[in-house]
Chain A
Amino acid sequence: MNNANNIIPLFVIIPLLGAFLISLIGKFVKRIWVDILSGVSCFLLLSLSIFGLNILRNSASPVLVYKVGGWAVPFGICMVLDGLSGLMLLTVNIVAFFVSVYSINYMEKYTDKPKFYTLFMLMLTGMNGLVITGDLFNLFVFLEIASIASYALVAFGTEAEELEASFKYAIMGSVASSFIFVGIAFLYGFTSTLNMADIARVLSTKPGLWLTPFVAVLFLMGFGLKAALVPFHAWLPDAHPSAPASISAMLSGVLIKTLGIYALVRVFFNIIGMTGAYSSVLMFLGAISMLVGVILALSQWDLKRLLAYHSISQVGYIILGFGLATPLGILGGLFHLFNHSIFKSLLFLNSGAIDYATGTRNLQEMSGLGKKMPVTANTNLIASMSIAGIPPFNGFFSKLIIILACIEKGHIGYALAAVIGSILTLASFMKVQKYAFLGELKEKYRNIKEAPSMMKFAMIVLAVICVLGGLMLLPGLKFLLINAMDVLLQGRGYADTVLGIAAK
């Protein structure tokens, strides 16, 4: 058992070391070594997350706990790998690996590749750390590492629009972080502990009558802004399109999910405890985000901006699923979280490939690209059908589960909203297909080429995962989602599980 626990800190150590080495040697060696270094680190992380899930499945205990520095658990920092963290790690590292492969060719048009990889690795450190940490203040620190790296990456092109978007994002993100920090301060003041499991234990023996709802509101504002739920979404449509395409894929694909949804769900389910009131608030915000996001997306002509609005809408689906707080709803939310990170990163990578070949993001200027760029067109078709929820693709199954869960709980209105959102999504992506890939090829694009090989590789593999994603519901792979669901369903029982394992 002890040996198995030792892989947990590697999720933080590998990307952090990668960032350090890349920034150290980046100036002196050829570009290819930097590419190899980042690719190898991301590959190691991906294999480690699969390995970790495998250990978790075969071990007798539902969680693995690593004590940093060997301190006993409620006093020292601990790292916890359970079903939910395992699923999140897998999602983050799949997307990160393909994005790093894609960046090998794509980032050539920017001047400073080593700096890009350094920031990319730091962002990955933040996200991986946030997912596996078992300590509330540590969660805040990792959240800030990921956020600061993402502010810098949004401004990476240093053009006027990018700087403006990054400034807006940084200000709103920092205010959100302050809200989260105040929430942590209140919880510490009330429970005198920072370990998440221990906070949950203290809260269940000593209920804070006015305190827990107040802290819940603070966390909802903070994490809701990071997740771009609708009243807090203003930064996302500016920030995500401004970043380089590979970073947009990371931001929309996994950053809003780890920093926003994962942290929100972990705090609400496992620490504060889910009640009917929180559940209704989450469902309402989810449904509003779902509809507002997709309606705003319909009128966009900038391809990346359109995709960014769809991220808001799809986050709404995920939050709606979690807000239901029934087993089926949580299962749908988790499955949609995984699927959305795959197809949304694929869509952003496609937009990057179009930008790379034609130099435009405006849908009205491009047409008939399907003949010249078959790989991009076909992978984009698969991703569009997945996000719209057409049957054989993964998005269909997760949306279906969420809609069924709504009906099961008796929320017919929310189920209808989800169906309407899905139809509008389909309409919006038909527009993308029609203007970008079908129709006559314009004269000025007569000589464009398909994207380079590494970009094609990343897009094809992600498209294959989109097609096969539905297989995650089969018995052999279902344990991934079921284990994650169990972690959330046990609520404050999380405390007993973690503290019990840690005491051994």
Chain B
Amino acid sequence: MSIYLLCLALFCVGLYGVLRKRNLVKIIIGLAIIEYSVNLFFVLLGYRFRGRAPIDAQTQDILNMVDPLPQALVLTSIVIGLGVTALIISLAIRIYEKYGTFDVTRIKRLKG
């Protein structure tokens, strides 16, 4: 149970970064931490401690196998996260070119 709570703590750290930090780069780092905590949580759902790789073997018991499906899904999710992060970083670079700052309190030409 405590390991899931650690995932939640990591998620909250990321959320704090997104909501409270003023620097664009730190916001992006916060977003990355959120993504990692969610991925970690999903992998842990299918993980068994002292389990074994899910290989079809007659003599082995199915109960101590690690569930491979979350790992495959998280792989997809990591790739998606990579795409989003790359896009957002390139946006941040262009914003820096236009505004000359990474400070969100000074990047507000829009009313919101």
- A and B together in one complex: yes
Q: Mark A162-196, 1 if CB is under 8 A from B, else 0.
A: 01111110110011001001100100110000100
- Cβ contact of B109, chosen from A158, A161, A166, A194, cutoff 8 A: A161
Q: Is the CB of B84 within 8 A of A174?
A: yes
* A155 CB contacts on chain B under 8 angstroms: 91, 94
B92 interface contact, C-beta 8 A: yes
Q: Is the CB of A178 within 8 A of B35?
A: yes
Q: Is the CB of A164 within 8 A of B42?
A: no
Which of B48-56, B57-65, B75-83 is the contact stretch? B75-83
Q: Is the CB of B98 within 8 A of A188?
A: no
Q: Is the CB of A178 within 8 A of B88?
A: no
Q: Is the CB of A152 within 8 A of B18?
A: no
A60 interface contact, C-beta 8 A: no
Q: Is the CB of A167 within 8 A of B45?
A: no
Q: Is the CB of B110 within 8 A of A161?
A: yes
Q: Is the CB of B88 within 8 A of A167?
A: yes
Q: How many angstroms between the C-alpha atoms of A178 and B11 in the bound complex?
A: 10
- Cβ contact of A167, chosen from B15, B41, B92, cutoff 8 A: B92
Q: Is the CB of A163 within 8 A of B95?
A: yes
Which B residues between 12 and 62 are near A, CB-CB below 8 angstroms?
Answer: 15, 18, 24, 27, 31, 34-35, 38, 41-42, 45
* A237 CB contacts on chain B under 8 angstroms: 111-112
A160 interface contact, C-beta 8 A: yes
- With A174-B31, A174-B84, A238-B110 as given contacts, are A167 and B42 in contact (CB-CB < 8 Å)? no
Q: Is the CB of B38 within 8 A of A234?
A: no
Q: Is the CB of A182 within 8 A of B80?
A: no
Q: How many angstroms between the C-alpha atoms of A168 and B108 in the bound complex?
A: 11
Sample (16) of A-B pairs whose CB atoms are under 8 Å apart: A141-B80, A148-B87, A151-B88, A151-B91, A155-B91, A159-B98, A163-B91, A164-B109, A167-B88, A167-B92, A174-B31, A178-B34, A178-B35, A188-B70, A188-B73, A238-B110
Interface residue ranges, B against A (CB under 8 Å):
15, 18, 24, 27, 31, 34-35, 38, 41-42, 45, 69-70, 73, 76-77, 80, 83-84, 87-88, 91-92, 94-95, 98-99, 107-112
